[in-house]
Amino acid sequence: MKKSEIIDKNNQLRKQLNSTNEKFYENLLLYVRFKGVTRDEYAVESQLLTILQDILDAQGDGINAEQYFGKNTKELADTLLAEIPRKPWELVRLVLFVIAVYLAACLLPELVYPQKPADIGKLILSGGYFFLAIIIGFKYWGNSIYKTGSHKHNRVVNFLILWIVTVIVMTPGFLINMFVKTPLRFRLIGWSGILVIGIFLTVGLFIFGRQKNKEIGWPFVIFGMGVGLLGIAMRLPQIGPLLSETTTGKYLSVGALIGMLVLFWVLNVYIARRGIKNKKDRQ
C-alpha cells in the first residue's frame, strides 16, 4: 500500500470514531506527525493506521481508547516514535518543498510588474527563516499537545497565545522581505519573463495534479494562475504598455491583483468552514 493510500484510508476510518475516541486519536496523530517530522514518513503513517484500527476494534467491543491504551498517551507516542528510524532525507525533502513553495508564492507576484526587480537573495533569506520557524513550531506544538495547564481547555486563551506567538515569530520574516536588499536581483522583461512565469505555472499545475486531496490547493492554484496570467499580459507588446503606462491600466492591474487576493482569502475561509462543518456532522 502506498503512503498516500494509507493516509486516505486513515482519513476514511477516522469518520467511524466516536467523539471521545476521535479526540484521543487526533491528539495522538498530531503529536506523532509533529514530532516525527524527521522520521520515516511511511512507517509513521503505517503505525498510526494500525493504532486507529486497534481503537476501532476496541470501540466495537465497548472499550474506549484511553481504557485500551492507558492514560499515558504521550508515553505510547514516544515509544512508537522511538521504534521508527530517522530519515534525514525526510527533513531535506521538507526543506526543499517549503522553500520551493515559498519562492513560487513570493516570486510570482513580484514578476507581475516587469519594471520591478525580483530579489532572489531576499526570498532565500526570508524563506530560510520561515522554514526554521516552521520546524520550531512543529516541535513546540507537538510538545504542547499533552502538556497540562490551566489554559489547556480555554479556547480563547489558546487562540490568543497562538495569535501572539505567530505574529512575533513571523514578523522578522516579513521585515526581511520589506527592508533587506541583496545583489541577487534581476528583471525579467518581455518574452524571457513570460517563459519563466510559464515554467512556474506548469510546474505548479503538475504538482497540484499529483495531489489526491485537491480541495486545500484550489485557492493557491486560482491565485497563482491569475497572478501569472496578469504577469504575462504585462509583458505582451500590445497589452503591457496599456496596463503599465496608462492611468486606467494601472488601476485595472492593481484592482485585479487586489481582487485575486480577496478571492484567495474568501476561498480559504470557505474551505475552512466547510471542513469544520463536516467535522461537526461526523460527531
- pLDDT tens for 8-59 read 898 889 889 998 898 889 888 888 888 887 788 889 899 999 999 999 999 9
Distance CA 150, CA 191 (A): 60
3-state secondary structure of 85: coil
Q: Count CA atoms closer than 13 A to 151's CA, side-chain side.
A: 10
Residues 202-219 have a mean pLDDT of 77
- As a residue count, the chain comes to 283
* pLDDT tens-digit map of 86-136: 877 766 777 777 666 676 667 777 777 787 787 888 888 888 888 888 778
| pTM more than 0.95 | no
Whether the per-residue pLDDT at 214 is higher than 80: the answer is no
The mean pLDDT of the chain is 81
Range scoring the smallest mean pLDDT among 43-52, 70-79, 204-213: 204-213
**Per-residue confidence at 150, pLDDT binned at 50, 70, 90?**
very low
